[in-house]
Structure 1
Amino acid sequence: MRRIISICLMLLLSACGGGGGDGGNLSNGSNTGSTANSVTMTVDSGPSGVQGAFNLPYVSVTVCAPGSASNCQTVDHVLVDTGSTGLRILASALNASLLAGLGSQQVNSRQVVECMQFADGITWGRSSWPTSRWPARRRARCRCS
């Protein structure tokens, strides 16, 4: 029994490696998003009120009413989800002026609504197609519900 304990203790001590180093210079890094197809990303615990979120990637997205350069809003802390496509912003994240300017998507004179299921619940609401600015030089249409 002593022999097994001695061997385990030697293996444990040899795994320590001595340390000795100070860890070098650590940096949070910085990306200014200066190229045409890049955007500044923040990695943190998310907006206030979110619990259990650590080291998640977020971006800020500017959303405008279609055809408007002044009726816009920048939405901070939009979670980057590499497993999904498109952009989904809940209406509760947008101001009243922008919501009024969005209108609604219509098919055969009927409003298009959408249900989206998530791991912790669902969202239900109208669909619209505002203009979004990811990098400053690029515009894309996205879905809001």
Structure 2
Amino acid sequence: MKLILTTEVSGLGAPGDIVEVKDGYGRNYLIPRGFAIRWTRGAESQVASLKKARAAREIRDLGSAKEVAGQLGALKVRLKTRAGESGRLFGSITTGDIADAVKAAGGPQLDRRRIEIGNAIKSVGTHKVSVRLHPEVAATLDVEVVAG
């Protein structure tokens, strides 16, 4: 199935990319959630203009993405949450929680969809989190989870 992505999908592509995916993945996941639309010749011409605008924006944003990555590297992020006596959390830390904690720590406003947590954060301690700021720039952020 040939689709045009409308939002960034991790591991698949960026908005405006034309991708070939399995029928079930496209029909049951990407299209209903608004992540993609069906490919047509008319939509392909719109994709060309989207890509041109995105390319101009990315060139301009590469320098600022590197600057934000430097800010995130120097930032100390602490999250207070409820935990049991053994250090296991009641629930888990989400990307939205991390985005809010970065903002509260004086960092830049981050889109929660660009934050990638390797393994679910379900315990107290320091955890590494990746933030995709640009297709060429990813920052690693240390998040300290404390019982509160």
What range is the shorter-chain TM-score in?
A: under 0.3
Could you say which structure has the higher helix fraction? 2
Larger radius of gyration: 1
